[in-house]
Every structure is written in C-alpha cells, then in structure tokens.
Amino acid sequence: MLVFPNAKLNLGLYVTARRPDGYHDLETAFVPLPWTDALEVLPAPKGQAASSLTLSGRPVPGDPATNLCLKAYQLLQADYPALPAAQLHLHKLVPIGAGLGGGSADAAFALRAVNEVFSLGLTTMQLEGYARRLGADCAFFLHNTPMLAHGRGDEFSPLALEVRGTACLVVYPGLHISTAAAFAGIVPRPPAHPLREALGQPMAEWPGTVRNDFEDALAPRYPVLADIKARLYAAGATYASLSGSGSAVYGLFPDLGEAPALAWEPEFLVWRGTL
C-alpha cells in the first residue's frame, strides 16, 4: 500500500501556560498542506521475521530502527501479537525541523496503512489513541481537515475555516530548530485575540490578530525568519507566518501571481501550490 503523508501549517500558535507535567498548553489551528512524503507499507517477504524500514529522499537523522513509522507499527504489534512483520519504505520530501509536522504525519499514515494492509479493523478514534502516544500533533493527520488544537496540541475541535484553493508559498531556509530550543525562549501568556474569533475574520485582518509566539522568541537568533516573512508580504501575501516552532515560513496569497518569480537563496527549499 502506497500513501502520501502530507504536512501541515499552523495558523496562529500561542503558548498559553506551562503544565505540571513539564509540557505547555497551546492554542493553534492546523490546516493540511499538500507537501507530501511517500510511504509504502507491505507484508514482509516470506521468511523475514522482523519488520524493517528503508529510507530515501531527504536525509533522516538517527537510526531507522527508532523512526516513528516503525514505532507506529510496534505500538500496534504490542496489542496485536499475531500482526505479521511489515516492510516499510519512506521517501522523505518534507523537511525535518521545519514546523511542518512531517514526522508526525508519517507516523499517523503508517498507523492507518498498517491497519488497512493487515485488516485490523481499527476505527479512527482507536487509531487516535495510538497516534497521541507517538506525538502531540499525530492525531490531526488522521482527520486532515482544519482543526483548532488545545492542550499539548492533541485536543481537537472542528474549525469552520475554508482555505481550500488558497495559494501558498512555503520557504524553508535550511535551519533545523529543535522543539526544546524553540520553547526555551517562550514566556507563556494568553492570546490577545481568541484564535477561533480571529480566524473567523477576513484573511486581510489576520496580520493584526493571528500571531505565532515563536516568531518573537526565535527572531533574535534567526533573523532570516523575519526577512523571509517580510519578503513574502512585499510579494503580495495576504498573510505570512512562521509554521509551528519553525523554521519554515509561509505566505498565503490571493493567487501565486508574482510569488513564483521571487528570487530565493540557493540553499532555501521552496514549495508552492494551493491548500
């Protein structure tokens, strides 16, 4: 089975409180971004006792044995010991450490693919339980529709937000920003504008009311982020923002217009298309 795990964008991201468990309470909106990896899940060849994962595309740091795709399979295997071994291959295109949720998407799609390939019959709600154990935003990718997220980013409520067909340009400057490093500069506080209400206004009003707390925290260390955002606005973006805890910056446009003609640094990775 071949699936295409897609990325996500954050529309607004507020760190509202530090939790007793060491995590933070967040308020954000997730929307799907059709920048995808490719993941193949097949039954392992006859005689292969253990599941395996091979990788191609963009380099993925770390031991493949610790990859979230294999961890997704292992979570299911723990509850279904008779689950046959699987052979997985991940072709990585979504950059890592960009705030686009690529690894979480891979894990969620792996759960869904293993469920289907081996006919486990698990519901979306049951798969959500496994997804939350793999990452705070993993469960979002089982729905892949605009959602307002609370708690650690793993509590969702539907969001009536129609952004399909919106032109989008995403610029990744090649910086890998760890989540821990990003949170180190954050001072939790309530948002000045309730996010659901702010996103209910015309997009032209979002620049004044929809913010990402990580932008101010990261700007002193990574001035390139503010530079990219300014260039997107100068090119005609209606709204531009850092996604997640960075380092990808995106712009939403009435149409792509002049945006494809922008000259970006050779080391930047750029995705353009529609949501």
**pLDDT tens digits, one per residue of 92-105:** 999 998 999 999 99
The three-class DSSP label of residue 42 is strand
Quick check: bond before 247 cis, omega within 30? yes
Radius of gyration of the chain (CA): 19
Outline which parts of the chain fall under CATH 3.30.70.890: 163-274
- CATH architecture of residue range(s) 2-157: 2-Layer Sandwich (3.30)
What is the Cα–Cα distance from 70 to 52, expressed in whole angstroms? 7
Smallest CA-to-CA distance from 198 within 239, 236, 226, 228 is with 239
**Of 17-21, 43-47, 192-196, minimum mean pLDDT range:** 17-21
Q: Please count the residues of the chain.
A: 275
> What confidence tens digit (pLDDT) does each residue in 162-202 have?
898 999 999 999 988 877 778 887 889 999 899 999 999 99
**What end-to-end distance do the CA atoms of the chain give, in Å?**
25
Instruction: Say whether 227 is catalytic.
Output: no
pLDDT at 225 over 90: yes
* Annotated binding residues: 95-105
Smallest CA-to-CA distance from 148 within 10, 5, 7, 6 is with 10
Phi, psi of 33 (to 5 degrees): -120, 120
Smallest CA-to-CA distance from 34 within 210, 163, 190, 226 is with 163
User: Per the residue annotation, which of 8, 71, 92, 229 is the catalytic one?
Assistant: 8
pLDDT at 258 over 80: no
Q: What is the DSSP letter of 62?
A: S
Q: What pLDDT sits at residue 159?
A: 95
* Annotated binding residues for ATP: 95-105
Q: What pLDDT sits at residue 118?
A: 97
Mean pLDDT, to the nearest integer, of 191-215? 95
What pLDDT band is residue 88 in, cutting at 50, 70 and 90? very high
Outline which parts of the chain fall under CATH 3.30.230.10: 2-157
Smallest CA-to-CA distance from 201 within 229, 238, 169 is with 238
Phi, psi of 234 (to 5 degrees): -65, -25
Q: What pLDDT sits at residue 19?
A: 83
Mean pLDDT, to the nearest integer, of 43-49? 90
User: Per the residue annotation, which of 37, 106, 137, 154 is the catalytic one?
Assistant: 137
> What confidence tens digit (pLDDT) does each residue in 127-141 have?
999 999 999 899 999
Q: Are the beta carbons of 164 and 38 closer than 8 angstroms?
A: no
Q: CATH topology for 163-274?
A: Alpha-Beta Plaits (3.30.70)
Q: Which residues are within 8 A (CB) of 267 and not within 5 positions of it... i.e. 6 or more apart?
A: 173, 174
Q: What pLDDT sits at residue 104?
A: 96
Instruction: Say whether 8 is catalytic.
Output: yes
What is the Cα–Cα distance from 164 to 13, expressed in whole angstroms? 20
pLDDT at 209 over 80: yes
What pLDDT band is residue 261 in, cutting at 50, 70 and 90? low
